[in-house]
Chain A
Amino acid sequence: MRNYKSATIVTACLVLLGVLFLGSFGRHIWTAFSQEGPAYYSAQMYASYQFNMLDHPTGLLVLPDIQGVNYLYIADTGNHQVRRFKIGFGPLVVVTGTGAPGYVNGSTSVAQFDNPTGLSGTAGLYAYEDPFTHQIRQGTYHNVFISDTKNFVMRKLCSNLGPGPYPPCQTVQTACGSHNFGMVDGPSLSASFAGLAGLSVGGGSNEYYMADAGNHSIREWDGSNVSTYAGNGTPGYSNGYRTSAQFYVPGKMTQDASGNMYIADIENHAIRKIDYAGNVTTLAGAGPTQPGFVNGTGSAAEFTRPTSVAFNSSDNMIYVADSHNNCIRRIDSSGNVTTYAGTGTAGLVNGSLAQAEFSMPSDIAIANGVMYISDTLNNVIRRIDMNTGIVSTYIS
């Protein structure tokens, strides 16, 4: 019995000593070497996910899940689908849309769209019972609003990221719009539009703004009624109180921390501002007769068909997808316009901000110091690491 115990103890000790010896050997070498100092070189590469599936992507939206991981939604306009990519992990999945144009509500697998463009949305939590442990867990759902441009409606996609079954999700419904071309305010499903573009979720509950490009106005939906928030329905370039001001094909809007709204006014080649009191002014841009590519302040700056704007709370800048100048511009709160990324030449070049080339960037989304750009004519999603200023092709 004693021999048995001894053998066990001796063997265990040998194992322990072996581990300690090897471990200390490693540490000793490391310490000695660290003092001598090897050279260290690093290279920052950027992942590029290739699927070759996108067809003229436009609207972008980033929403988080319960663990803080972001998901990038893409309006894959030419494929009449909405896709989703889990940032940093993938894959790229079709959330809804069959690939054929149409107008069908219902489950995400059968729903159809006709040229979906603008996206906006919110993330929420729901509780569900784990089918194996029967514990109550939390999952994330996303409510994504979609400008279904050629169906003249705004659709609502509800998508669970976790398991179901509650709440009933993975569905597409018409949030507002009668599916008829027109400009009618009123109850959600009686209202009409003439080509929705960008969307924006307002600060309040049930506060959604829609750029009704075909009606040259900004429409508002409160969850049950549609009203005209700004613009009088005729194209123009008048400033003034929001309901009498004029726009000329508004593309997308964003809001800053003070509640001011900024609008990419495409055919006016300008960025318009609606302040908290409802007054419309021109933040930057020279107006409908003067497209161009000039940096400067206010009306001295020139754009050519800016389609989207995004407010970045980290630097208090408005970033602009200046689509026909093939670049990203930015505007500070005083209206000073500079070129952020792109040379102005259409192309697909990655690298530094000054080297990069785009081909009709149409929408931008900013999250956690990263800018995502739908590079529409290149059929890819580009990404800018705003900390390093490196432009890369993220999803193609």
Chain B
Amino acid sequence: MKPQFIGRRSFGLTLSLLLLIALLGSGCMAVIMDFPFQRGIRVKTTMNLVDNPTAPNVPIPNVPNFGDMASLRDDLSGTRTGTDTHVQGTTNQFGHSTYPNAITKADWALHVGPSVSPPCFQNTFVEVVPAAGAIFEFFCNV
């Protein structure tokens, strides 16, 4: 009886562990990992069907983006966050690149693209990032 009991307990624990790993490693974890935007800068890359505006937009992964802070803006309200004056990355499976440490209350020049699939040329944003941060969305209309 005893060896069988241990075997069942081991089996149960292993199953639980596998469940945990599966949960954390699957889409559930992925959803959790892609935190909602908190501060700094987020780049979003989205595909949009021009001839079917009601179709849901689709995120575009693997889009390169980078940018530099141009100047600080002390005329804006709120508390400045972040320390990074340069950001660089590629969008994740949700079409996001998030830079929480990008300096806010500043002017930024941000380059997004080109996207390969679908093929859209690079776009440059020159915009103000307020204390609460900013989201830059790049729509590739196909």
Contacts and interface: CB of A to CB of B under 8 A. Distances in A.
A268 to B, nearest CB: 33
A4 B5 contact: yes
B70 to A, nearest CB: 15
B19 A45 contact: no
Given A8-B12, A8-B15, A39 B120 contact: no
A21 to B, nearest CB: 10
A168 interface: no
Interface string B111-142: 01101001111010101111111111111111
Contact of B32 (A23, A50, A68, A70): A23
Given A8-B13, A29-B38, A43 B137 contact: yes
Interface string A5-34: 101100110110001001100110110010
A46 interface: yes
Nearest to A4: B9
Nearest to A30: B36
A226 to B, nearest CB: 35
A276 interface: no
| Most A CB within 10 A of own CB, among B19, B23, B28, B132 | B132
B135 A38 contact: yes
Interface in A36-62: 36-50
B138 A43 contact: yes
A48 B115 CA distance: 10
Say whether chain B's binding surface is mostly helix, strand, loop, or mixed.
Answer: mixed
Contact of A45 (B28, B123, B127): B123
Interface residues of B, number: 50
A92 interface: no
A203 B84 CA distance: 64
A68 B142 CA distance: 15
Say whether chain A's binding surface is mostly helix, strand, loop, or mixed.
Answer: mixed
Contacts of B32: 19, 22-23, 26
A46 B118 CA distance: 9
A63 to B, nearest CB: 13
A43 B123 contact: yes
B8 to A, nearest CB: 5
Contacts of B38: 29, 33
Contacts of A26: 32, 35-36
Contact of A15 (B8, B23, B113): B23
A40 B51 contact: no
Interface in A243-280: none
B127 A39 contact: yes
Interface of A: 1, 3-5, 7-8, 11-12, 14-15, 19, 22-23, 26-27, 29-30, 33, 36-50, 68, 70, 87-89, 367-370, 383, 385, 387
Given A4-B9, A26-B35, A383-B50, 5 more contacts: A3-B9, A15-B23, A33-B36, A36-B78, A39-B134
